[in-house]
């Protein structure tokens, strides 16, 4: 089935949706994006994703052309138009069309807003059952990773390098500490059962699923520490996992070839995935 996309206020078949070659998102990576999961035709953790979108826009001086109510309505409409039961909604906002220049275009330049869907069975995830292997790579991204920008080349390069090393994904390392995965938040569980994840800063994205999982862990009596951790700590961990809107909670069973725990998805990770799906499915809008 041909998808229906949203582009600057119009609903178009994907074959007819066109963006100018002079769009600053294409020429300068001058744009942001957001991803919201859809489960049972409803939006998962929507408030967190909408808030992060607004924050990213403010940090770059971008203006959303929709009000909060309109943005929610468009999300719901794109689900309905594409009969999406499970999958993702991708939104991209750029500074619009202008002559190529490092200087921002004049005030009043219309932004470009695109939304499209991807159908995906988010509940049946082979990686969640078997776990993934990660390779440690240097974090060479720009310094404002807290902004969800469209400049994703290095994460793509890191994931490809990880694949070349026989791993499924990369955990990025800067100044001796893990920042995050190529497109997800990194977590470990220590031998004492403490859930450790990097504290928020410009070094990493404020993951919406991260926040939900930390809240669920604390509610179930798990001690949580938000701090930097080293690759050695990660290798010695009892459990490790990643969180993201597209995959929820996925176990990490090996880091740079070193087995994590017994090399199988462990109890707390599996519980957190189950808690997340149950609670967010119930609260989806």
Indicate which residues carry an active-site annotation: 148
Give the chain as a DSSP string. ---EEEETTEEEETTT----TTBHHHHH--EEEEEEEEETTEESSHHHHHHHHHHHHHHTT---SS-HHHHHHHHHHHHHHTT-SEEEEEEEEE--B--S-SSPPPTTPPPEEEEEEEE--SS--HHHHH-EEEEEEE--S-S-TTS-BS--HHHHHHHHHHHHTT-SEEEEEETTEEEEESSSEEEEE-TT--EEEPPPSTTS---HHHHHHHHHHHHTT--EEES---HHHHHT-SEEEEEETTTEEEEEEEETTEEPTTSS--HHHHHHHHHHHHHHHHH--
Q: Which long-range contacts (CB under 8 A, 24 or more apart) does 69-72 make?
A: 72/43, 72/46, 72/285
d(CA 142, CA 161): 18
Q: Which two tokens mark 32?
A: 């942001």
Q: Which two tokens mark 104?
A: 């921002």
């Amino acid at each position: 089935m041909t998808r229906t996309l949203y582009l600057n206020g119009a609903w178009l078949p994907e074959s007819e949706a066109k963006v100018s070659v002079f769009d600053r998102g294409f020429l300068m990576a001058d744009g942001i994006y957001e991803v919201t999961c859809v489960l049972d035709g409803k939006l998962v953790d929507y408030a967190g994703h909408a808030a992060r979108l607004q924050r990213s826009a403010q940090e770059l001086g971008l203006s959303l052309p929709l009000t909060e109510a309109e943005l929610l309505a468009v999300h719901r409409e794109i689900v309905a138009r594409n009969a999406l039961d499970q999958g993702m909604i991708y939104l991209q906002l750029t500074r619009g069309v202008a002559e190529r220049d490092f200087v921002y275009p004049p005030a009043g330049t219309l932004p470009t807003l695109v939304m499209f869907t991807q159908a995906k069975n988010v509940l049946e995830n082979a990686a969640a059952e078997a776990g993934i292997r990660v390779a440690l790579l240097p974090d060479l991204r720009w310094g404002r990773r807290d902004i969800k920008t469209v400049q994703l080349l290095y994460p793509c390069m890191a994931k490809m390098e990880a694949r070349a090393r026989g791993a499924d994904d990369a955990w990025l390392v800067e100044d001796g500490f893990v920042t995050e995965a190529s497109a997800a938040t990194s977590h470990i569980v220590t031998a004492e059962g403490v859930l450790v994840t990097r504290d928020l800063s410009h070094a990493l994205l404020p993951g919406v699923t991260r926040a939900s999982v930390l809240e669920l862990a604390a509610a179930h009596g798990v001690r949580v520490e938000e701090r930097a951790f080293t690759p050695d700590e990660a290798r010695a961990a009892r459990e490790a996992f990643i969180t993201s809107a597209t995959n929820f909670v996925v176990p990490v069973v090996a880091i740079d070839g070193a087995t994590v725990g017994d090399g199988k998805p462990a109890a707390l990770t599996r519980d957190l995935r189950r808690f997340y799906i149950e609670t967010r499915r119930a609260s989806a809008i």
